[in-house]
Amino acid sequence: MRIDLSVARYLILAGTLTGCSEPAPRWYTEHDVASGGKVYENNCISCHNADATGTERWKKPTEQGHYPPPPLNGTAHTWHHPMPALLQTINEGGAPYGGVMPPFKDVLGDYEKKAVIAYVQSFWSDDIYQRWESLHKE
């Protein structure tokens, strides 16, 4: 994503004048997000949707007793979990939590797992990301 420098300067100046501060930098890079987007497209999109919105009724088990895929875009509970728990869910899948997500322990490499988390977190608002970061400082 490219932003015009004059627009960026305006946004910074506007934030300074209104008392808003620029959000803290995130742990990942644009490259991580792009790589994670490819991993997401190949492994996650069919259940969690293109915009990481998951399913509408993710809190209620299906007739088979499984929880549907939750939103990963910051509107559900994903941001409540620290990085190790997010990685554990990717590794073990959803079965331990009542879901049907397959385990990806032997499917994705360590970088791919973190990159897909970066991609998902790129959907999070600055407020949600900051809450996650303050709750789970490593």
> Is 39 a domain residue?
yes
> Is 10 a domain residue?
no
CATH number at 117 reads 1.10.760.10
pTM of the model: 0.82
**Residue span of the structural domain in which 54 resides:** 28-135
> Is 21 a domain residue?
no
Number of domains the chain is built from: 1
Coarse DSSP helix, strand, coil percentages of the chain, rounded to the nearest 5 percent: 50, 0, 50
List, in sequence order, the alpha helices (H) in the chain. Answer: 5-18, 30-43, 45-48, 83-92, 110-121, 126-135
> Is 19 a domain residue?
no
> Is 54 a domain residue?
yes
Distance between CA atoms of 86 and 89, rounded to whole angstroms?
A: 5
> Is 72 a domain residue?
yes
Cβ pair 8, 84 in contact under 8 A: no
How do residues 79-131 score in pLDDT, each as one tens digit? Answer: 999 999 999 999 999 999 899 999 999 999 999 999 999 999 999 999 999 99
